[in-house]
């Protein structure tokens, strides 16, 4: 399997622009996680889905952030409008776990976002 695929790997944009990050989980995995990592705050969980349904979005920083999972093989994280403080590495991860179970997460390579 190719592992978790994220695109783009790098994104540079200007403040106010819309940014869309994409993730393809490992085939057969039914949980998907979006994380953000910054020097100041470390790794943070933004939102996670189980069977395409958002389970916990309490980590989403504000209304400018939204995430969707239209099907089992694709998810997006959108920032609109973007701000310089959104600059971070965004990781997507997937796992086999059902909501009440726990399982190893497999991380994608991350998208490095820079908002100027």
Binder to other proteins among 19, 77, 110, 115 (CB under 8 A)? 110
d(CA 74, CA 81): 22
Structure tokens at 46: 């933004």
Question: Would you count residue 12 as binding other proteins (CB under 8 A)?
Answer: no
- Per-residue contact string for residues 36-75; x = within reach of other proteins by CB under 8 A: ------xxxx--x------xx-xx----------------
Size of the site for other proteins (CB under 8 A): 22
The DSSP annotation for 51-90 comes to: TTEEEE-TT--STTEEEEEEETTEEEEEESS--GGG-EEE
Shortest Å, Cβ 3 to other proteins? 10
d(CA 87, CA 64): 14
> Contact region for other proteins (CB under 8 A) — 14-22, 62-70, 71-79, 89-97?
89-97
């Amino acid at each position: 399997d190719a592992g978790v695929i994220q695109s783009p790997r790098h994104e540079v944009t200007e403040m106010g622009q819309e940014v869309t990050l994409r993730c393809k989980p490992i085939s057969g995995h039914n949980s998907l996680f979006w994380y953000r990592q910054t020097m100041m705050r470390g790794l943070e969980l933004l939102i996670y889905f189980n069977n395409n349904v958002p389970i916990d979005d309490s980590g989403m920083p504000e209304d400018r952030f939204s995430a969707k999972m239209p099907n089992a093989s694709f998810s997006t994280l959108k920032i609109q409008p973007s701000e310089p403080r959104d600059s971070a590495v965004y990781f997507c991860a997937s796992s086999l776990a059902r909501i009440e179970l726990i399982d190893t997460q497999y991380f994608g390579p991350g998208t490095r976002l820079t908002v100027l």
